Structure 1
């Protein structure tokens, strides 16, 4: 169902009554700055997650060969014990 054109007109009219025409520009500016800050925060978090994932991949690649051989040795020992 959503909001129709008339719903938006009524909401804008109520906002105009509550805040008055003098405060609307400052409210719009404040809202725009808040949205901009929110988007920047999301972008920063995305960069942090990407950087952390890359660091983990590099760390795993550097230590991966050593841990894989120890894992394969452990698996071989387990197979010998079970046999």
Structure 2
């Protein structure tokens, strides 16, 4: 004794009447963007943990960028 299609249609109709189609579309878009962002951050996190050398590379790149930025700041002053 599950939920029938008619019960789902009635609930959907009530939700549309309460929120309107534009509001539901905005909610769906925001929810989809949040899910995409979450999946992207999870895949980025997985790729970082899979390659232990990636952390060392990141630190080396940051040190290199910091050393390049220091002379630029001196020339601006």
Pick the structure with greater CA Rg: 1
Higher helix share: 1
Query: TM-score, normalising length from structure 1?
Result: 0.46
Query: TM-score, normalising length from structure 2?
Result: 0.48
